[in-house]
Amino acid sequence: MSTATLPPITPLTKKDFQTDQEVRWCPGCGDYAILSAVQSVFPELGIKRENFVIVSGIGCSSRFPYYMNTFGFHTIHGRAPAVATGIKAIRPDLEVWVATGDGDALSIGGNHTIHMLRRNVGIKVLLFNNKIYGLTKGQYSPTSEFNKKTKSTPFGSVDRPFNPVSLAIGAEATFVARSVDVFQSHLKETLRYAAAHKGSAFVEILQNCNIFNDGAWFSLTERDARSEHVIQLEHGKPLVFGKNRDKGIRRKPDGDIEVVPLGNGISESDLVVHDAHHPRPSYAFLLSHMEHRPGFPTPLGVFRAWDDLPRYEDVMNQQIKDVIAKRGSGDLNKLLHAGDTWEVK
């Protein structure tokens, strides 16, 4: 076969996505693991390096673009989703990822986060949730638990926290998932799912800040505890958890859910079968809320992946194409001379 005209395709590797900049996160920070996972997954996606854009706001997580050898834009606090929306509107072909944190995305930038999600702009959002303000050295965040004692709340915080997954589903995000910094293979798998989603993809990554909030997620990550406290969401599979896979989530007649022990006449066939592709968000919301209830586990994995909604940037650009198809391309001289005109001789 003579196909010598095609240039050889060199597959990208993890190294292609690393920059020469010294990484300046604290030693032991969970962000290193997230960076490594993203650098591992990007070469698998079959997307040219120059077509990746990483946009961030302000915070520890927002240093992310400097360490990715792609196009990168470190913007201002909370505004990354809006900047990214402008990029996507003009260049829908680009692969735009936002790196953000619990303060950046849910406090100062909460408005942009929910509006980006309800518009279904084709942006992937990685929310690094460490339940603390790290870069400003240790104040409570909008995801910190009630009564959190920090530098700014010596007698305990009086705020009720946001659940980022609930918030995203409430905004009717079309893809919502949760993973953990230290679960590398789960994290990579989750990133692959997010990358495959066309619309807005929101991924909460539970991340440890070993300086200001060490161990915030230990109940989910420590080997002894995690199987009792974590439930893995897998599409089409029943909701089972526990060290011996001996507990499950069952629907109650009133539509609510309950934790039931397996055995004694209760089998996996009685349990809720996870349906990530359900078009309506109410089921995913119910799942997202269970971790706040005594005896319930915290779900990890893909809560919702419903990709039937067109992307905002595609609708925007299609509208322009439709108008041009109908009216023809604009003629500037005609535009300037439009309306009632008169001639002075």
Partner 1 sequence: MSTVIETPLSRHKPEKIDQAVIRFAGDSGDGMQITGSQFTNTVALYGNDIATFPDFPAEIRAPAGTLPGVSGYQLHFASSDVFTPGDSVDVLIAMNPAALKVNVGDLKANGILIVNSDSFKENDLRKAQMTSNPLEDHSLDKYRLFSVELERLTRVALEHLGLDAKSMDRCKNFFALGMCYWLYNRSMDSTVRWIGDKFKNKPLLVEANKLAMKAGYSYCEATEAFQISYEIPPAQLAPGMYRNLSGNQALALGFVTASQKSGLRLFQGSYPITPASDILHELSQYKDFGVMTFQAEDEIAAITSAIGAAYAGALALTTTSGPGMALKTEALGLAVAVEIPLVICDIQRGGPSTGLPTKTEQADLLQALFGRNSEAPIPIVAPATPSDCFWAALEASRIAVKYMVPVIVLSDGYLANGAEPWRIPNASEIPEFPVHFATEANSPNGYLPYKRDPQTLARPWAVPGTPGLEHRIGGLEKQDVTGNINYEPLNHENMVRIRAAKVAAIAQDIPDAVPVGDAEGDLLIIAWGSTHGAITAALKAQRVEGRKIGHVHLRHLNPLPSNLGDVIKRYKQVLVPELNMGQLLWVLRAKYLVDAIGLNKIQGRPFKQAELEQKIEELLG
Q: Which residues are at the interface with partner 1 (CB under 8 A)?
A: 19, 21, 48-51, 53, 55-56, 65-66, 69-77, 79, 82-91, 93-94, 111-112, 115, 316-317, 319-320, 323-324, 327-330, 332-333, 335-345
Distance in angstroms (rounded) separating the CA atoms of residues 92 and 86? 10
Instruction: Provide the 10 A C-beta neighbour count for residue 153.
Output: 15
The answer to whether 53 and 24 have CB atoms below 8 angstroms apart is: no
Choice between 96 and 239, CB closer to partner 1: 96
Choice between 58 and 205, CB closer to partner 1: 58
Q: How far is the CB of 15 from partner 1 (least distance, A)?
A: 14
The answer to whether 154 and 284 have CB atoms below 8 angstroms apart is: no
Q: How far is the CB of 83 from partner 1 (least distance, A)?
A: 4
Q: How far is the CB of 255 from partner 1 (least distance, A)?
A: 33
Q: How far is the CB of 209 from partner 1 (least distance, A)?
A: 21
Choice between 172 and 291, CB closer to partner 1: 172
**Tokens in use for 70?**
């792609």
Q: How far is the CB of 68 from partner 1 (least distance, A)?
A: 8
Distance in angstroms (rounded) separating the CA atoms of residues 89 and 315? 10
Distance in angstroms (rounded) separating the CA atoms of residues 309 and 140? 36
Distance in angstroms (rounded) separating the CA atoms of residues 20 and 240? 45
Q: How far is the CB of 21 from partner 1 (least distance, A)?
A: 7
Report the relative pairing of strands 247-251 and 257-261 from DSSP bridges: antiparallel
Choice between 113 and 288, CB closer to partner 1: 113
Does residue 269 sit in helix, strand or coil?
helix
Choice between 260 and 316, CB closer to partner 1: 316
Choice between 70 and 213, CB closer to partner 1: 70
Does residue 249 sit in helix, strand or coil?
strand
